[in-house]
Amino acid sequence: MKVGIIGGGIGGAALARALLARGIETAIFEKAPAFGEVGAGVQITPNAVKAIKGIGLYDGLLARAFHPQAIVGRNWQSAAENFRIPLGEEFRAHYDAPFIHIHRADLLELFTEGLPPGICHFGLTCTGVEQTPQGARALFDDGSSFEADVIVGADGVRSAVRGAVFGETAMRWTGHMCYRALVPTGGVVDHVSPDSSFWMGPNAHVVTYYVKGGEMVNIVAVAEASEWVAESWSTRASREEMLARFEGWHGSLGRLFADVDEVFAWGLFDRDPMESWVRGHVTLLGDACHPMLPFLSQGAGMAIEDALVLAEALAGMPGDIPQALARYQAERLPRTARVQLEARERGRTYHLPTPEEMAARDAEYARRAREEPRTTGINTDWVYDYDPRAFAAAPAPETA
């Protein structure tokens, strides 16, 4: 079996590693001249860590990871704790995996460094996909094409494969824009605690966490905005703009923001869940099929889970690709749709505008923290519980 992957981001690269580990031939087609990621951090939650274990790259992940001690909810003005989810031994044992922070370039390298030479084709933009009698064919901007048993669109939120095969649909402006920055700390913890910290305030929230072994703090500062005016998807912003937008927030954040050199502003768009993402021998993976708001820290995690499940589905039923793709979709679509919709809902609860609403929310967080810390704040017990390796263990149905 041969699988063509369009897009060499985190999802496409994870799929390539998962397929190769199962003896399936693959090729990646990436429009950029080389593998690359934006200079920012990413939180990898236990469900996604389990997927990385299933792909066989757990040791490499641990070597690049920062281990936060807790997820902490903080008041935007006083820094008082609204909730605390300990991420220590008990948490790791409960989910059979840790919660880690990692620089995005390190995560991409985890998947790409072991790829055999010759399977990655750079500087090729996919312009369309067509079905063939035995499989599918991807078409590229230089006039070349690639035929395989399966073509997978892992080409991100503005997926060309999705547009060509499933039709173009408009992206939804979510009413949020976010500032992203990395601040070098030299390992000195004087601005924020080495936790995953959620600072919640009126119509905005800020997430701060350490990456690069504690050498840098990653900042994601999300604010509501009536419209996204920049022409590009991400654009440069200034430290002054970020400081002005978060004026009045706690002094630790102000000091951290003052140390920022380079800031990027992103408009946050998403889409409604798809009804189907399999057509013949073509399917989608990651942001191409389920773009989501980053408020549950799950976009990359969902792409990595998809990668393991799709590789297992194809390896389990090599003689019946339509059935293998149907199994992949049945396993993944309901879960990713729920995560997409719940991430949207978090945008509302993190940003409650009035002091009364915030106080009621925080009292509820405190109640849940007393009863079961794992269910408080971002309330992601159901996300982290999922183990994509269980799909691999499940027997594939008999082919007709």
Ligand X SMILES: Cc1cc2nc3c(=O)[nH]c(=O)nc-3n(C[C@H](O)[C@H](O)[C@H](O)COP(=O)(O)OP(=O)(O)OC[C@H]3O[C@@H](n4cnc5c(N)ncnc54)[C@H](O)[C@@H]3O)c2cc1C
Catalytic residue ranges: 209
Report the residue from 57, 151, 178, 265 that binds ligand X according to the rule CB under 6 A: 178
- CA proximity to 169, closest of 289, 271, 54: 271
- CA proximity to 51, closest of 337, 336, 273, 319: 336
Q: Report if residue 171 touches ligand X, rule: CB under 6 A.
A: no
Query: Which of these segments, 70-78, 153-161, 327-335, 350-358, binds ligand X (CB under 6 A)?
Result: 153-161
Tell me how far apart the alpha carbons of residues 36 and 93 are, in angstroms, rounded to a whole number: 34
Q: Report if residue 12 touches ligand X, rule: CB under 6 A.
A: yes
Q: Report if residue 72 touches ligand X, rule: CB under 6 A.
A: no
- CA proximity to 17, closest of 46, 63, 66, 60: 60
Neighbour-count burial of 7, counting CB atoms closer than 10 A to its CB (0-12 exposed, 13-18 middle, 19+ buried): buried
Considering only residues 100 through 119, tell me which ones interact with ligand X, judged by CB under 6 A. Answer: none
Q: Report if residue 392 touches ligand X, rule: CB under 6 A.
A: no
As measured in angstroms, the least distance from the Cβ of 251 to ligand X is 24
- Amino acid identity, position 10: I
Tokens of 378: 């971002």
Per-position b or e across 338-374, b if 16+ CB within 10 A of its CB: ebbebbbebbebbbbeeeeebeebbeebeebbeeebb
As measured in angstroms, the least distance from the Cβ of 31 to ligand X is 4
* Coil vs helix vs strand at 233: coil
154/317 with CB nearer ligand X: 154
Considering only residues 196 through 215, tell me which ones interact with ligand X, judged by CB under 6 A. Answer: none
> What is the residue whose two structure tokens read 């067509």?
130
Considering only residues 218 through 237, tell me which ones interact with ligand X, judged by CB under 6 A. Answer: 220
As measured in angstroms, the least distance from the Cβ of 360 to ligand X is 27
Report the residue from 32, 62, 230, 258 that binds ligand X according to the rule CB under 6 A: 32
Considering only residues 303 through 362, tell me which ones interact with ligand X, judged by CB under 6 A. Answer: 303
Q: Report if residue 43 touches ligand X, rule: CB under 6 A.
A: yes
Positions touching ligand X (CB under 6 A) are 6-12, 29-32, 42-43, 125-126, 154-156, 160, 178, 180, 220, 266, 286-288, 294, 297-301, 303
